[in-house]
Structure 1
């Protein structure tokens, strides 16, 4: 007799390998299960897809997507880039350093790593190539720095994880600050070493004057206030994380009015981009939540938990196995879909081992972010190379030192909870 769960999982994985859209692949797995279970009404399938998206915290996704899109039409990106250039212009490999810091600061505005990677690939990579950087190196720096975006609040991945695992999204936002800053600093150090060896020059030889610094800070000050507004408002109870998304939209419109760079046409275009982006995310969430419901109904999480508890005694060993598993999964499955399917399986086991829920959340998000950069199906790699016209083989070869750095950061997050939970303890 055919096992419905095994069959549905095989169908889903085969479709993913064939590069069929993620939501179709996951939905196909769910449909296969219900077809092989004739006693189960088909209406349940439709109900699970719809109910998977009927969550108040998930409303934050279109809000923050809209705010990030509007930010791109207000001239915010150029102002922050100019500010980063003033700060880091004398650093070795100056423009590559600017790309890393820009991703860190823009992560608090857009919340989308793919959007940031596409934007920076268009804006910075041509300038980096003109200044003597190789195209593969410029592409790798752009794509790798975009991994910081899901970690810096308000990351969309944290909103999804919080809604799936029933964790405080506000605390997840805070917990991502430490890993995001750590990755930013370590990447800047690596870029400095590589740039020094290859002779990549700074953007300028003299430090910026105090007047230049004040001018750049004045231009970027209002956009840079948004992350502090969101975190501070959530912390003091002015609004929930969902309401913070609406606040971010209002703030982006305010910036458009202040800078006089957003027109009515831009607003309409931004709304259209928001609808299409949010719809694709929500469809994946609905499809993946259906598959997660199937796994729960068949008691797969309980059986997996019992097996791991029997054979594993160490929380650290469990985290290492989870890291290896998620790194492989992230190579083939879109991060948000993988999170919705796997978190209900893994989070209860992590809780049994006494692992801090927020540390585990950051570890999962970081793992899947690395997967977005990894072949064969790394979305960040495809998006960046698609914009810069860099060959995949050159990209992968150039990315090897950065993969090693990311694995080092992952080990630090796994071994030392303070990197993820330290800021939470400080703020709360």
Structure 2
């Protein structure tokens, strides 16, 4: 197994796309095991994508693309502007609130960060914000999407680790809201120092706010309805994804923006997004099988339990390792590869699997914004046409406050567990 992992890391360093590096590393393991037939890799590639609970992922991706195409995003921007446009750094504050609202729509940090950089970025630069600041802001606010349901990262963790996805969704809300609040504080402080002006001259009246609320109401209700459907048992996670697609079509019909052209474009965009995730899941089955064959999850559990008596210390070691690993691996890859290893270890240590899962997914996602392999970082820098160096200079305050939020959730687990215990 060691040779397989070394091949995988070497191919990554050489610049090979991560999905092919995973698949080749996994095949190396099977070539080393003459007792295992070479038909098994093909079977694993197919069987891994036929996990029933993973059906939620393509359904939520399609629902998010449908909402983007059917006018939901535009109405959410107007709603966010009505709520925070009168504050200092108004357009930046709008971006933070929009990410909180978009969590229930996109489910993807990269998609949300890239979309907001394209929509809000040019206008923010015209208002005096630097391109690097916009890139950092959009990248880090995209982390909110990882926490707010329907987070694809939480679905992957729950499906692979056999943890309640409904409880994970509820647990992520506390982190998402807390992130939004601290981002707004950072933006307000930077706006005061740099002289960023409000977007609106004064706080909108109730009569001005209500039309904006009505315009974005159906999208804002989406994560709430999703949790209620899971809590009441109306749908299981795989079914609620299909219901979300129907919901998105109904919202488009309510807004009178439903058309064959827009629906076809949403399906086209979803095919490429789903294909990328499915290919990663399939390829990771090869390395994952090798790890199980070598009993790496059990070995890690025994090592951590034997080395550290305090489970909180063990959790800190795991999260630190994830933070460092996130600098070289994509978060989706980390969740897919490491969940089968770390969940048994967390169980052996007596950790709450919902609290552990939310922290694991959020810590892994932070790697999307750090060099050298930060996909969100490169995406927003490309859209805003700024250097990575300038992005890092503008992004460090956001990085510090994200670490602060994760530390708070580590020391005070009720931030994550309060809502799941209340609802479930």
TM-score for the superposition, normalised by structure 2: 0.98
Q: Does 1:421 align with 2:417?
A: yes
Is the Cα–Cα contact under 8 Å of residues 285 and 336 in structure 1 kept in the other structure?
no
Is the Cα–Cα contact under 8 Å of residues 77 and 94 in structure 2 kept in the other structure?
yes
User: Of the candidates 10, 15, 18, which is equivalent to residue 14 of structure 1?
Assistant: 10
Q: CA separation in 2, counterparts of 1:381 and 1:217? A: 31
Deviations 1:282-319 (A, max 9, x none): 11011112211111111112222222222111112111
Q: Does 1:131 align with 2:127?
A: yes
User: Of the candidates 53, 64, 71, which is equivalent to residue 68 of structure 1?
Assistant: 64
Shift of 1:38: 2.7
User: Of the candidates 104, 109, 115, which is equivalent to residue 119 of structure 1?
Assistant: 115
SS of the aligned residue for 1:83 comes to helix
1:28 aligns to what?
A: 24
Shift of 1:352: 1.8
User: Of the candidates 328, 331, 343, which is equivalent to residue 347 of structure 1?
Assistant: 343
1:195 aligns to what?
A: 191
Q: CA separation in 2, counterparts of 1:148 and 1:413? A: 14
1:333 aligns to what?
A: 329
Question: Structure 2 regions of 5+ residues with no counterpart?
Answer: none
Q: Does 1:322 align with 2:322?
A: no
Deviations 1:318-347 (A, max 9, x none): 111111110111111121221121112112
Is the Cα–Cα contact under 8 Å of residues 170 and 231 in structure 1 kept in the other structure?
yes
Shift of 1:194: 1.1
User: Of the candidates 141, 145, 170, which is equivalent to residue 141 of structure 2?
Assistant: 145
Question: Structure 1 regions of 5+ residues with no counterpart?
Answer: none
Is the Cα–Cα contact under 8 Å of residues 147 and 173 in structure 2 kept in the other structure?
yes
User: Of the candidates 34, 37, 41, which is equivalent to residue 33 of structure 2?
Assistant: 37
Shift of 1:131: 0.8
1:367 aligns to what?
A: 363
Q: Does 1:263 align with 2:259?
A: yes
Q: CA separation in 1, counterparts of 2:263 and 2:113? A: 22
Shift of 1:116: 0.7
Is the Cα–Cα contact under 8 Å of residues 27 and 286 in structure 2 kept in the other structure?
no
Shift of 1:260: 2.4
Runs of 4+ with >6 A deviation = none
1:186 aligns to what?
A: 182
RMSD: 1.1
Q: Does 1:160 align with 2:156?
A: yes
Q: Does 1:405 align with 2:401?
A: yes
SS of the aligned residue for 1:150 comes to helix
User: Of the candidates 304, 312, 324, which is equivalent to residue 308 of structure 1?
Assistant: 304
Number of matched pairs? 424
2:98 aligns to what?
A: 102
1:356 aligns to what?
A: 352
Q: CA separation in 2, counterparts of 1:152 and 1:223? A: 13
Is the Cα–Cα contact under 8 Å of residues 385 and 391 in structure 1 kept in the other structure?
yes
Q: CA separation in 1, counterparts of 2:300 and 2:234? A: 41
Q: CA separation in 2, counterparts of 1:138 and 1:297? A: 46
Q: CA separation in 2, counterparts of 1:130 and 1:231? A: 39
TM alignment of 1:279-318, pairs within 5 A:
279-318=275-314
Deviations 1:341-398 (A, max 9, x none): 1112112222222211100001100111101111000011011111111111100111
Q: CA separation in 2, counterparts of 1:216 and 1:240? A: 32
Q: CA separation in 1, counterparts of 2:334 and 2:353? A: 18
Is the Cα–Cα contact under 8 Å of residues 134 and 384 in structure 2 kept in the other structure?
no
